[in-house]
Structure formats: C-alpha cells, structure tokens
Amino acid sequence: MSDLIDKNELEGLLKKLPEWDFENDTIVRIFEFDDFAAGIDFVNGVAEIAEETGHHPDIDIRWAAITIYLTSHDVGGLTATDLEMARKIETLVD
C-alpha cells in the first residue's frame, strides 16, 4: 500500500503535470479527440497501462472527450502510483 501524498507536496508535483487538476482527492484531466474512434483508441491505451501497473482509473467517455480520474481508493486519496499513472497516460498523447 502506498502512502498518501501530502497536499502541500502535491502542489509541487502537479506542476510537472500541468494539464491535470486536483478535485476531491483525485487528479482529473479531460482529453479531447477528433472523433469517437480516436477517443476509444486512447481508452484502449489507458487500459493497457492500467493492466500493466495494476492501477485502474475511472474513465468517462463522452463521444470524443475522455475524462480520466486517478485516485487510490484503498487509501482514500492520492499516492505516487496515481502520479506515475498520469505520467504514463500523458505518453499516449505526446
């Protein structure tokens, strides 16, 4: 089990992930694509990362807008695992 990230530390860490927002013990980012199929391709990439790491985000699909929510439910907040997942997800759109 990972340790929760202190909220003061989190501010500095999120500077390295400027597209992600902090909301209710979760980091969130909306990814927008040209069409539904491109969004689903992205979701499939996220699913591969999630399976490899054993850490699964909540995903909201709205046509070509995909919202990713990351938190560690087992400890009730953010851990280093969530930030690492966000960094890996970012590689799908770079």
Residue 1 has pLDDT above 70, yes or no: no
pLDDT digits (tens, 9 = 90+) for 29-85: 999 999 999 999 999 999 999 999 999 999 999 999 999 999 999 999 999 999 999
With tokens 């499939």, the residue in question is: 44
Distance CA 55, CA 47 (A): 10
Distance CA 57, CA 10 (A): 18
Secondary structure of the chain: what % helix, strand, coil (to 5)? Answer: 40, 25, 35
pLDDT band at residue 2 under the 50/70/90 scheme: confident
- Residue spans of the domains in the chain: they are 7-90
Where does 7-90 sit in CATH, by number? 3.30.1360.20
Nearest of 74, 70, 73 to residue 90 by alpha carbon: 70
